[in-house]
Structures are given as C-alpha cells and as structure tokens.
Amino acid sequence: MPDAGAAASILLARDGAIATVTLHRPDRLNALDAATWRLLGETMEGLSADAALRCVVIRGAGGNFAAGADIQSFERERAGSEQARVYAGHMQRAMRAVAEGAHPTVALIEGVCVGGGLELATVCDIRVCGQSSRFGVPIKKLGHTMSYGELIPLVALVGPAVAKEILLEGGVFGAERALGFGLVNRVVADSDVESEAYAAAQRIAEGAPLAARWHRKFIRRLLDGQPLTQAEIDEGYASTDTEDYRIGVRAFLDKKRPKFVGR
C-alpha cells in the first residue's frame, strides 16, 4: 500500500455515476513520481470494479493538469535502466488502467499538461482544455526517451509525423496547436473548462454503459491492425441481446429518455 504522502497525491470523489480522480501535488504542478503513478493505477483499477459508475473525470489540482515526471525524483527512482523499467511498470499499469478500464474517461485539462501529464491525457477518451493550456514533451532536454509503452498511445492519437515533431523539437505549445495536432477534442475559455468537461461526462453517463464499453474495446482492437476473428466480428452484434438495447429502442419509440441499467 502507498504511504501517507503517496495517498495524498491522488484524491477521489464521486457525484452519482461520475467519479473524479485528482492529481494532487499542486506545489509540484502535479508532477508525477513512481508513488503517484502506482496509486493512480490502483485507484483506476478499483473504479473499474464499480459497476454503478458511468464515467471518470481526471484532472489536476491547483489550476494545472500535470507538469510531467517529477525530475527531482529521477536520481532516486530512475538512476539507470533497471530502475527505469520499474518506474515504467508503475506508469504503464496506470495508463492501461485508464485506457482499458471499465469506464470512459474525460481529461479536464487546465494550465500545464506536459511530459507524463500529456501522456496520461492521451489515454483518456475525451480531452477538454482551456485556451491558456500548454502542452509538450520536452524530454530531449533530459537526454531521455519515451518507452514503447508510452509512445504507442501518442502515435495512435496524433500519428508518427506529429509525434516526431513533438519529441524532436521538444517545444511547449498552446491549446490551438494541440487541437490542430489532435491532442485535444475541444478548446474552451479557461473559465468554462470545468463545466464543459463535466457536461461531457454527464452526456457519457446518460448513455448505455455496456455500449460505451464495447465501443472503447472495439476501437482499441482496430488500432492493433490485426485481422478480426469471427468471434470478434460476432461480438459487434452482442449489444442487441442486452436489456439496455430493449430499453433504448422502447424509449425512442415512446419518445422518452432511456434509463439504462447496464445489463
């Protein structure tokens, strides 16, 4: 179990079917160390077991998303390849828990979103940021590389050409350029980021949760480029056997709002 300091680095709150996971190291601009990555993974895995949830909002405390890795911890946690592999294990476990967990995720991005913070945002399903948000992966300045596990979601999101520009130039850029790159879904006024992100989460929560899970699974599967098996193709029709499908069709015909049950 993480120590008390690590526990304080991730906050969890819930409002009905929507959970909020907050990176909580505001004095470090929410920079991510191994303990924070580990706790984030554990938290997201725990939320996946909660069938009553419909969406998870991920954000940072103090007006910033995350300023990447905590470089002050490198000599302690990433002093050589063996330590780097251990650190990457915590990081990639957390990113998988976000990307492949049961519930859709919305990244509420304020302020700085760079390095590991940007990598975390790439595995969220929807990313909403403010006009003054800043993005980038200036890892070239450290003589360090992103591992394959970190590169895969970035390249899948923006393509190889943009990924090379981000990594090779190492610049920090604004929200409109991030939107053009495909790193974020929408840019809103700084004062509207929170309301827009939670509005998106609410729209997700009102949908059929099983359909949302299937769509996320199907899209991840398509990205690996391998031919679909017949069983996978057949799964594309499985939603029609669910109670939610019957609820949704009947509500449409009756001109009512559906109340899905997740079965």
Lowest mean pLDDT: which of 71-80, 104-113, 139-148? 71-80
Tokens of 143: 């003589």
Rounded percentage of the chain residues whose pLDDT exceeds 90: 80
Residues 173-182 have a mean pLDDT of: 97
Compute, in degrees rounded to 10, the torsion defined by CA atoms 231, 241, 102, 178: 80
The phi, psi pair for 186, rounded to 5°, reads: -155, 150
Q: Give first-to-last CA distance, the chain, whole Å.
A: 33
**Which tens digits make up the pLDDT trace of 201-243?**
999 999 999 999 999 999 999 998 899 999 999 999 999 999 9
Q: What is the DSSP letter of 70?
A: -
| Contact indicator for 77, 34 with CB cutoff of 8 Å | yes
Residues 150-175 have a mean pLDDT of: 95
C-alpha distances (whole Å) from 241 to each of 166, 212, 231, 235 are: 44, 15, 15, 11
Residues 80-107 have a mean pLDDT of: 88
Residues 130-145 have a mean pLDDT of: 91
For the domain spanning 4-205, the CATH number is 3.90.226.10
Which residues face 113 on adjacent strands? 66, 135
β-strands 134-136, 172-174: how paired?
antiparallel
Domain with CATH 3.90.226.10 in the chain: 4-205
Residue appearing with tokens 């949908």: 207
Neighbours of 213 (CB within 10 A): 15
Residues 95 and 100: their CA atoms lie apart, in Å, by: 8
Tokens of 215: 């769509």
Residues 202 and 158: their CA atoms lie apart, in Å, by: 26
> 169 pLDDT exceeds 60?
yes
| pLDDT bucket at 7, cuts 50 / 70 / 90 | low
Residues 241 and 132: their CA atoms lie apart, in Å, by: 46
| pLDDT bucket at 75, cuts 50 / 70 / 90 | low
pLDDT value for 81: 77
Average pLDDT over the chain, rounded to an integer:
91
| Contact indicator for 34, 90 with CB cutoff of 8 Å | yes
Which residues have a Cβ under 8 Å from the Cβ of 177 and sit 6 or more positions away?
135
Residues 144-158 have a mean pLDDT of: 90
